[in-house]
Amino acid sequence: MKRGLERKLLITGAVWNLITALLTIFSYNSWFNRQGEKQLKHADMETMIAGSQMVNNISSIIFIFGLFTLIGALINFLVAVKLRDNKIQKQVMIWVGIWAVIQLLSMDILGFLVYMIAFIIYVAKNKAIRLSNPKVKDAVSN
C-alpha cells in the first residue's frame, strides 16, 4: 500500500510545528520579554530584581519549548521522507503516536488532530498490509 496520505499528513504537521516553533521562539518570546519589562518598569528595586530574574527564567523555558518543537518538526520531516510503501515500520508508528500525545499535552489541538489522523491511517494500513501477506492469508483461510 502506498503511504502517500500519511506522508502528506506528516509533512503538514511538520510545517505546522515549524511555524509554531518559529512564532514561539521569535514572536512570543520577545513579546513576553517586552511585557515583563513594561510591568517591572515602575516597581521598587527588590521587586524589579526578583521579577527580572523570573521573566528571564520563563523566557528561557519559552525558548526551550520552541526549540523542542522545531527539532520535532525536523524529525517529522525526516520521518515523512523515510516512510516506505508496503512496509510496516514500528518505529514510525511509535514516534507518530508519541508526538501526537506531546501535541495534546502542549495544547496544540490542530497539531494533535493532524498527527492522530496520520497515526490512525498508518495503523489501518498496517493491518491491510498484514492481511495481504500470503502467510497471513493461509492462516486465516485454514
Q: What is the number of other CB atoms lying within 10 angstroms of the CB of residue 95?
A: 18
Burial (CB count <10 Å: 0-12, 13-18, 19+), residue 33: middle
Q: How confident is the model at residue 134 (pLDDT cuts 50, 70, 90)?
A: confident
Tell me the C-alpha to C-alpha distance, in Å, between residue 85 and each of 2, 4, 6, 14, 96. 5, 8, 10, 20, 16
Q: Among 142, 138, 132, 111, which residue's Cα sits nearest to residue 2?
A: 132
Q: Is 60 exceeded by the pLDDT of residue 127?
A: yes
Mean pLDDT of the 77-91 span: 92
- Cβ–Cβ < 8 Å for 118, 16: no
The pLDDT assigned to 113 comes to: 97
Q: Among 127, 123, 100, 86, which residue's Cα sits nearest to residue 3?
A: 86
Q: How confident is the model at residue 39 (pLDDT cuts 50, 70, 90)?
A: confident
Statement: the pTM of the whole predicted model exceeds 0.95: no
Tell me the C-alpha to C-alpha distance, in Å, between residue 9 and each of 6, 43, 52. 5, 49, 41
Q: Is 60 exceeded by the pLDDT of residue 140?
A: no
Q: Which residues contact 38 (CB under 8 A, 6 or more apart)?
A: none
The pLDDT assigned to 32 comes to: 94
Q: Is 80 exceeded by the pLDDT of residue 99?
A: yes
Q: Is 86 left (phi over 0), alpha (psi -120 to 50) or beta?
A: left
Q: Is 60 exceeded by the pLDDT of residue 47?
A: yes
The pLDDT assigned to 141 comes to: 56
Q: How confident is the model at residue 139 (pLDDT cuts 50, 70, 90)?
A: low
